[in-house]
């Protein structure tokens, strides 16, 4: 049983009822496979239902992906399959997007706004960042000029203000008085994109060059547990079997990034292979109903969502801490796993503070790696080896006296 339970506080975003209803309809299915009941159940189905046996039909999307060795991920190139995997469980991310593969929609929106002489939200953000950068440069120049003027006046025996000039104008600009110039107001990308022409090019359809990128853990979960994803070999295009995927995903962390991993079993199987250690954590929380996403933005390994990033922010931040059952296995290992050595209190306090500021509970998930002296390496020939791993959780909460005195 997991120590992690959803919190009672609500962190859902303020959305209109119509928007919430639409999201509930689009993201109604937690997994790519769907169980449906027939409209007119037969006598056999009624009999099975009477004895407590489900007779539902299974709708399997059978998505297609291709292994990319350089990024250690699986690419789903068909956008129909990509949207199925995203909308049914929030698997993967768009390679040109922050999460949902929405590059094409953003490009279409940018084209519409360009015709109206308006900017997209990304362009507005870039404009504000350019303005802040220019403001800091102007303020630094003004401060340097004021300091030089004060130094000359001091040598002459005069006292001058380093903030206001003699006529009362402010020498050092502030955020309230500073105004951007025309070059900062109009970024370069806007000028080149808003140029008007005969309008023929605007009518050309935009080719979607984005794909869904799955981690190896997500791809193996979809292939092994749900049987809804087929992965092809990038060398010959053949569909890999489950046994070949099992070998390749381990060999990816062994072979050189410039060489294609072998489909054969690894020459030296090890329980501390990074793919195995990370998959244990991923499978553990996915099987408990959590939506597991990458947590690199908050300096952790994984983020846990109750329903998905569309509905609410992540509640828990997971740091994977591998623990060797036999310390001798770590000494002879060729893998340099993160967080295997004791970490400093300053590091732990920093990570905890970062996640506390964004209302996430930090969880240290300790994965016990079986000892090679106790468990034979032959069990690593199949996913049956996962039963020998254990996961323990330590929940950390930052003590804030002003908030917790009640």
For 147-176, what is each residue's pLDDT tens digit?
Answer: 787 777 777 777 666 566 555 566 677 777
pTM over 0.85: no
pLDDT score at 282? 97
Distance CA(30)–CA(9), nearest Å, equals: 22
Evaluate if residue 210 carries a pLDDT over 90: yes
Establish if 156 belongs to a structural domain: yes
Count of domains in the chain?
A: 3
Strand order in the sheet with 212-215: 93-94, 212-215, 73-76, 63-68, 229-232
Do 23 and 68 lie in a common domain?
yes
Do 230 and 149 lie in a common domain?
no
Q: What is the mean pLDDT of the chain?
A: 83
User: What is the tens place of the pLDDT at every residue in 334-355?
Assistant: 898 999 988 888 998 899 999 9
Q: What percent of the chain has pLDDT over 70?
A: 79
Per the model's pLDDT, the better-predicted residue between 289 and 8 turns out to be 289
Distance CA(9)–CA(135), nearest Å, equals: 40
Lowest mean pLDDT among 127-141, 226-240, 367-381: 127-141
Tokens for 274, please give them. 């990074």
Residue 126: phi and psi, rounded to 5, are: -65, -35
Establish if 32 belongs to a structural domain: yes
Lowest mean pLDDT among 1-5, 19-23, 133-137, 178-182: 1-5
Distance CA(103)–CA(211), nearest Å, equals: 9
Evaluate if residue 320 carries a pLDDT over 60: yes
Establish if 177 belongs to a structural domain: yes
Establish if 238 belongs to a structural domain: yes
Q: What is the CATH number of the domain that holds 353?
A: 3.40.1350.10
Do 180 and 235 lie in a common domain?
no
Establish if 315 belongs to a structural domain: yes
Q: Which amino acids are annotated catalytic?
A: 305, 313, 360
State the residue range of the domain holding 293.
270-406
Do 215 and 84 lie in a common domain?
yes
Do 198 and 56 lie in a common domain?
no
Beta-strand pair 316-324/302-305: antiparallel
């Amino acid at each position: 049983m997991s120590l992690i339970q959803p919190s009672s506080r609500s962190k859902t975003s303020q959305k209109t009822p119509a928007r919430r209803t639409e999201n509930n309809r689009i993201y109604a299915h937690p997994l790519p496979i769907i169980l449906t009941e027939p409209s007119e159940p037969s006598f056999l189905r009624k009999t099975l239902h009477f004895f407590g046996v489900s007779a539902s039909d299974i709708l399997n999307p059978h998505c297609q992906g291709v292994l990319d060795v350089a990024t250690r991920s699986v690419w789903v190139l068909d956008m129909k399959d990509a949207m199925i995997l995203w909308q049914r469980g929030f698997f993967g991310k768009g390679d040109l997007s922050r999460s949902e593969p929405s590059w094409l929609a953003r490009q279409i929106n940018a084209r519409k706004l360009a015709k109206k002489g308006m900017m997209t939200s990304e362009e507005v953000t870039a404009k504000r960042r350019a303005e802040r950068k220019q403001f800091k440069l102007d303020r630094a120049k003004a401060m340097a000029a004021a300091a030089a003027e004060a130094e000359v006046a001091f040598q002459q025996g005069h006292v001058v203000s380093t903030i206001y000039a003699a006529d009362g104008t402010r020498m050092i600009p502030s955020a309230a008085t500073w105004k951007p110039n025309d070059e900062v107001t109009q970024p370069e990308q806007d000028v080149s994109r808003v140029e008007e022409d005969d309008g023929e090019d605007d009518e050309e359809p935009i080719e979607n060059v984005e794909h869904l990128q799955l981690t190896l853990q997500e791809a193996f979960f979809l292939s092994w547990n749900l049987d809804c994803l087929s992965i092809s070999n990038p060398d010959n295009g053949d569909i890999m079997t489950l046994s070949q995927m099992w070998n390749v995903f381990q060999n990816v962390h062994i072979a050189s990034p410039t060489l294609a991993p072998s489909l054969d079993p690894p020459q030296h199987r090890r329980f501390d292979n990074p793919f195995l250690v990370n998959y244990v954590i991923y499978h553990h929380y996915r099987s408990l109903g959590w939506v597991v996403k990458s947590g690199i933005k908050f300096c952790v390994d994984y983020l846990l969502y109750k329903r998905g990033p569309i509905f609410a922010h992540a509640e828990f931040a997971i740091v994977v801490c591998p623990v060797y059952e036999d310390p001798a296995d770590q000494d002879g290992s060729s893998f340099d796993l993160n967080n295997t050595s004791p970490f400093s209190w300053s590091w732990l306090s920093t990570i905890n503070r970062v996640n506390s500021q964004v209302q996430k509970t930090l969880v240290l998930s300790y994965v016990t790696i079986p000892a090679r002296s106790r468990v034979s390496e032959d069990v690593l020939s199949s996913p049956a080896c996962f039963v020998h791993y254990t996961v323990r959780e330590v929940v950390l909460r930052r003590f804030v006296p002003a908030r917790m005195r009640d």
